[in-house]
């Protein structure tokens, strides 16, 4: 019997049994260095390439377009720095005000180097306007970088329209998409989106922490972040983390096969949660439109989220108060939505996976009711 209820899957996920078993096998039995020319090295190299094919499949890409990294943050840094430091290009970057810290802190660094950054602002629902992007593009725009799905409020950005407009108005500009929260939740379509780069992370979909990947469109040339032995076609030197890579590939394989089924299940859980909250907390406020049902951000104005989290934890229910990568800081995403401080400070994020059940949702609603009674008392 499960001793806890984990509803923080936007922060990280448990490793899938299939992925864990494969990683353990590789660590203990097929542990050769992929660069070695003997049989065990060749076997390890084959494991890496099999995983590359699985990652490429879920990204609708060619295996040669996939570069393994240590995480989504490294993939994003590689894309942004690589795109902006090309010789003879412009010095203008476009992003949004609701990006993950991996993007925002990277473009802040480039601002210090003399780049100019335009931050597109969301509307009250967390959506970014296509017309705002159109107006922001300039002759010297070198990069558009944005997320596919927001990690705090679940809104989905119109990346298809973004890519079309960017390539029409600034053909030499590159387009990077942070798809960390969208992977295995939404179909990824780099060609349709005119994407040059797509960042993804393993631990959000059932692979171990410490593995990510970057889609680099065939023919796109950028400099690597690091230099060394030339692994990953020179884009990411260092001995490959074969167990993690194998596990990531296996997680992609499993998640791709089950994506439609998982989405329908999570949608039902999301609907149950919203109904449960409506029946118990008429004053609760939802933040953003949660276009993907996996992420629901809801506020209980007048209640501090930190207090709510501690009371829920007493009932073995685990949610978050925002991005796990912005611990201790007020949500910049909710601030960008221009929400009142009481709404921001009383917000919690509930994020589902296929492993959650209706009983989990009911337990969360009951624990929230106990929290309400405790705070009133």
Q: Are 107 and 80 in contact (CB under 8 A)?
A: yes
* Separation of alpha carbons 207 and 202, rounded Å: 5
For 321-365, where are the E strands, in sequence order?
347-351
The pLDDT of residue 377 is 44
* Separation of alpha carbons 292 and 186, rounded Å: 8
Q: Are 337 and 290 in contact (CB under 8 A)?
A: no
Question: How would CATH label the architecture of 5-12+258-376?
Answer: Alpha-Beta Complex (3.90)
DSSP 8-state class, residue 267: H
Q: Are 152 and 334 in contact (CB under 8 A)?
A: yes
Q: Are 91 and 115 in contact (CB under 8 A)?
A: yes
Picking from 53, 47, 49, 22, the residue whose alpha carbon sits closest to that of residue 32 is 47
The topology (CATH level 3) of 17-254 is 3.40.640
Collect all residues with Cβ–Cβ distance below 8 Å to 353 and sequence separation of at least 6: 9, 13, 262, 266, 294
119: β partners? 95
Picking from 88, 97, 181, the residue whose alpha carbon sits closest to that of residue 145 is 97
Where exactly does CATH 3.40.640.10 map onto the chain? 17-254
CA distances from 236 to 58, 75, 225 (A): 21, 10, 8
Determine whether 325 is an active site residue: yes
DSSP 8-state class, residue 234: G
The pLDDT of residue 322 is 64
Picking from 59, 72, 130, 140, the residue whose alpha carbon sits closest to that of residue 96 is 130
Picking from 72, 79, 81, 12, the residue whose alpha carbon sits closest to that of residue 213 is 72
Catalytic residue among 24, 84, 252, 325: 325
Binned average pLDDT, 10 residues per bin, the chain of 377 residues: 88 98 96 91 96 98 98 98 92 98 98 97 97 98 98 97 98 98 97 98 98 98 90 89 97 97 97 95 92 96 92 96 63 95 95 96 94 69
Picking from 209, 182, 90, 204, the residue whose alpha carbon sits closest to that of residue 144 is 90
DSSP 26-56: HHHTS---TT--SHHHHHHHHHHHHHHHHHH
For the chain, where are the E strands, in sequence order?
5-6, 66-69, 92-96, 116-120, 141-147, 174-178, 197-201, 212-216, 285-286, 295-299, 317-318, 347-351
CA distances from 227 to 9, 220, 233, 234, 241 (A): 34, 18, 11, 8, 17
Where exactly does CATH 3.90.1150.10 map onto the chain? 5-12+258-376
How many C-beta atoms surround the C-beta of residue 138 within 10 A? 16
How many C-beta atoms surround the C-beta of residue 314 within 10 A? 12
The pLDDT of residue 373 is 78
Picking from 21, 42, 22, the residue whose alpha carbon sits closest to that of residue 32 is 42
* Separation of alpha carbons 127 and 65, rounded Å: 30
């Amino acid at each position: 019997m499960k001793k806890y209820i984990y509803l923080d899957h936007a922060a990280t996920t448990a490793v899938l049994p299939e992925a864990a078993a494969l990683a353990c096998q590789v660590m203990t039995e097929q542990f050769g260095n992929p660069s070695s020319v003997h049989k065990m090295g060749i076997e390890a190299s084959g494991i890496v390439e099999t995983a590359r094919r699985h990652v490429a499949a879920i990204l609708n890409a060619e295996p040669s377009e996939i570069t393994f990294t240590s995480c989504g943050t490294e993939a994003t840094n590689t894309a942004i720095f690589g795109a902006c430091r090309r010789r003879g290009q412009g010095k203008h970057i476009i992003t949004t005000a609701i990006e993950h810290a991996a993007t925002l802190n990277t473009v802040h660094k480039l601002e210090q180097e003399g780049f100019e950054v335009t931050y597109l602002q969301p509307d009250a629902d967390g959506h970014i306007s296509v017309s705002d992007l159109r107006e922001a593009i300039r002759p010297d725009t070198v990069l558009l970088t944005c997320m596919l799905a927001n990690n705090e409020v679940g809104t989905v950005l119109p990346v298809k329209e973004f890519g079309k407009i960017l390539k029409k108005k600034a053909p030499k500009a590159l387009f990077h998409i942070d798809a960390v929260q969208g992977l295995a939740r939404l179909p990824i379509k780099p060609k349709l989106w005119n994407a040059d780069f797509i960042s993804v992370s393993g631990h959000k979909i059932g692979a171990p922490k410490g593995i990510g990947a970057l889609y680099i469109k065939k023919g796109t040339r950028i400099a690597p972040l690091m230099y060394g032995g030339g692994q990953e076609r020179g884009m990411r030197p260092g001995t490959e983390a074969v167990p993690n890579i194998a596990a990531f590939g296996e997680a992609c394989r499993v998640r791709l096969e089950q994506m439609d089924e998982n989405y329908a299940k999570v949608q039902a859980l999301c609907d149950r949660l919203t109904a449960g909250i409506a029946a118990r907390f008429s004053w609760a406020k939802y933040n953003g439109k949660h276009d993907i049902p996996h992420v629901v951000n809801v506020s209980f104005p007048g209640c501090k989220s930190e207090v709510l989290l501690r009371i829920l934890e007493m009932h073995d229910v685990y949610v978050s108060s925002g991005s796990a990568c912005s611990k201790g800081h007020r949500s910049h995403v909710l601030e960008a939505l221009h929400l009142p401080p009481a709404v921001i400070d009383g917000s919690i994020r509930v994020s589902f996976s296929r492993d959650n059940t209706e009983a989990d949702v009911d337990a969360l609603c009951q624990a929230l009711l106990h929290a309400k009674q405790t705070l009133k008392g």
